[in-house]
Amino acid sequence: MADVLVLVEHVDGVVGKPTLELLTLATRIGSPVAIVVGDGTGLAEKLGEYGATAVLSADDDALTSSVVAPVVSLIESLVASRSPAAVLIASTTEGKEIAGRLAVRLDAGVLTDAVDVALDGDTVVVEQSVFGGSTVVHAKATRGVPIVTVRPNSVTPVASPAAADVSAVTFPAADGRHAVVESRSATAAGGRPGLSEASVVVAGGRGVGTAEKFALIEELADALSAAVGASRAATDAGWYPHAAQVGQTGVTVAPQLYIACGISGAIQHRAGMQTSKTIVAINKDAEAPIFELADFGVVGDLHVVVPQLIAEIAKRKS
Amino acid sequence: MSALRIVVCVKQVPDTWSEKRLDPLDQTLDRAAADGVIDELDTYAVEEALRIEEANEGSTVVVLTMGPAGAADTVRKALSMGADEAVHVVDDALHGSDALATSLVLAKAIERTGFDLVVLGSESTDARMGVVPAMLAERLGVPQATLASKVEVDASTSPATVKIHRQTDVGQVVVSAQLPAVISVLEKINEPRYPSFKGIMAAKTKPTATWALTDLDIDASSVGLAASATVVVDAVARPPRGEHTIIKDEGDGGSRIADFLVSRKLL
Ligand SMILES: Cc1cc2nc3c(=O)[nH]c(=O)nc-3n(C[C@H](O)[C@H](O)[C@H](O)COP(=O)(O)OP(=O)(O)OC[C@H]3O[C@@H](n4cnc5c(N)ncnc54)[C@H](O)[C@@H]3O)c2cc1C
Ligand SMILES: Nc1ncnc2c1ncn2[C@@H]1O[C@H](COP(=O)(O)O)[C@@H](O)[C@H]1O
């Protein structure tokens, strides 16, 4: 079985959930080989548990001191030495940049935002959800190794234990001029999961009313270990940071559960959330278009319904 | 202080309010089915380019687009905001180009027109790939300072430098690079200006070059649908969502949601 290269995401020694999802998909189409930027030793157990047959550890500060290009060189050299069936990368903004540059280097097809990956004979076929989720497309690369970025939450990680040997890999120095990273600031996520990879997202819109009232949305989010999202009306009003905006010009999310509070469901908002597995809406207007998408909707005042929901969650958890 | 030549890449996209669909014949975006407008995200790139120009006397902003003849409207919009000149790459052979081909064409056009800085939107609202800026940096062989929520150019040094706040899913980094370089900007980095009446009038007489593939020494066989490195196998409209329940809050709305979450094993 051919190798499938998986670029690992890890923070503070913990493998990110999107990486476990990539490994799960990779086991379906070949033999997963994990690429770790940094020291892979401590991650090998977890990576092996989800199917990695090898962990290639590239521990060199040069990989993270300039923007994207050195990681592209690393993967390029591994593609050359291992002739994989595919390269899988998480569909984050940076993941897509890596995929794009790699595609230029290798003159290979790049498929972004895949939600599924399968083999048709020897060909890797990906499923993508386009136009804000209104159309489902199957696509494949017609030349080169398929470079696929996979949207977080597309599959449930499945353990598939393999013995993952760790080996150190070297890579060619990225030649040319690159943008240099001068400093980093950790995310002020406050313990909440990242918006694009969260399993549950609680989002607030204009109906929330004020910046202060967003505390209610955060409280519900924390009760469900969810990330907080917002509509553009809410971010434009300055009630919540722009980075939390869900939609066509914001983040695209596809969590297991999306709870929309005081959001009308404009086409541009739906474009960023309508592939969520389950959608719950709370809106006082029975005609709000968000109800067309909702699996479960409550026509009512969110300032009444949400506090009750928070209390009920606490009750049922205890 | 040196004058900079700033190329800003703008894309024409279907109007966001119109339904998008794939052309049943060749599975490309049916651009005729929707009105084309300048990608709203690219207006932030135009605005940022204009601000850099204004801060560095003698600089020039060149608008670059690749797209069908109708994309001339998009070019004019950017010119009316204040850009100085435009390059529009039009060629029938470009239909169905993927990101690899688009970046090839844009890179050749940028090289031909000359540049110190290339400014792009971070992602197009129709393709949503977010790959073209990185691909351009790769093709041009210049630093990639992308996903900027803040941009500072210092043209007092030689070479000039750019420093950005790069915002990714995992956090923020400060990145610096020497020019020439490629930058991409995030939504809300600035407040794009509205074209003034004077700007709209002036746009009509600003120099606009229209280039075909032969002007860029690109072989027609290396772009367009046939050269695409990916192909759509099939496309279907997503089936409508299954059953749904909408209730009116009778004082138990929150509790009913909790019941629903339990029934779906989400709680
Ligand atoms: C080019 C373009 C790009 C865009 N990109 C995005 C994007 O990425 N993301 C995005 O979200 N939008 C985007 N928009 C904006 C979009 O069109 C809508 O304007 C926006 O989504 C509306 O946000 P909202 O639903 O919070 O506000 P509204 O449409 O004003 O809806 C507020 C809702 O709250 C309800 N409500 C009010 N009070 C209460 C209460 N007490 N309890 C319960 N319900 C209440 C109301 O009934 C109403 O339905 C974009 C627009 C354009 C033109
Ligand atoms: N056909 C095009 N003409 C000009 N610029 C483009 C074109 N396609 C993409 N771009 C630029 O590349 C950015 C990212 O696009 P994309 O990678 O397609 O999401 C856009 O915001 C534009 O600035």
From the CA of B134, how far away is ligand 2's center (Å)?
11
**Residue A222 vs residue A134, higher pLDDT:** A222
User: What are the DSSP calls for B44-97, one per residue?
Assistant: HHHHHHHHHHHHSTT-EEEEEEES-GGGHHHHHHHHHHT--EEEEE--GGGTT-
Q: Supply angle C-alpha A56, A62, A63, rounded to 5.
A: 45
What confidence score (pLDDT) does residue A300 get? 98
Nearest CA in chain B to A94: B168
Residue type, position A23, single letter: L
What is the band of A196 on the pLDDT scale with cuts at 50, 70, 90?
confident
Does B3 touch chain A if contact means CB atoms closer than 8 Å?
A: no
d(CA A84, CA A100): 17
Instruction: Taking residues A115-133, report their average pLDDT.
Output: 90
3-class secondary structure, A213? coil
Question: Ligand 1 site: residues with CB under 6 angstroms?
Answer: A 205-207, 231-234, 245-250, 262-264, 266, 268-269, 272, 282-285, 288, 301-303; B 16, 40
SS3 per-residue string spanning B138-177:
HHHCCCEEEEEEEEEEECCCCCCEEEEEEEECCEEEEEEE
pLDDT in tens, A66-113: 999 999 999 999 999 999 999 999 999 999 999 999 999 999 999 999
What confidence score (pLDDT) does residue B54 get? 97
Name the average pLDDT for chain B: 91
Query: Which residue's alpha carbon is at the smallest distance from atom 10 of ligand 2?
Result: B11
From the CA of A265, how far away is ligand 1's center (Å)?
6
Whether residue B166 contacts residue B148, with contact meaning beta carbons closer than 8 Å, is answered with yes
From the CA of A284, how far away is ligand 1's center (Å)?
13
Q: What is the ipTM of this complex?
A: 0.90
**Does the distance separating the beta carbons of A94 and B170 come in below 8 Å?**
yes
- For the Cβ of B91 lying below 6 angstroms from any atom of ligand 2, the answer is no
Supply the pTM of this predicted model. 0.91
Nearest CA in chain A to B241: A293
From the CA of A69, how far away is ligand 2's center (Å)?
20
Q: Supply angle C-alpha B38, B43, B44, rounded to 5.
A: 155
pLDDT in tens, A270-301: 989 998 999 999 999 999 999 999 999 999 99
CB < 8 Å from A in window 103-132 of B: 103, 122-123, 125, 128-132
pLDDT in tens, B2-47: 899 999 999 998 876 665 666 666 666 665 555 678 998 899 999 9
**Does the distance separating the beta carbons of B230 and A110 come in below 8 Å?**
yes
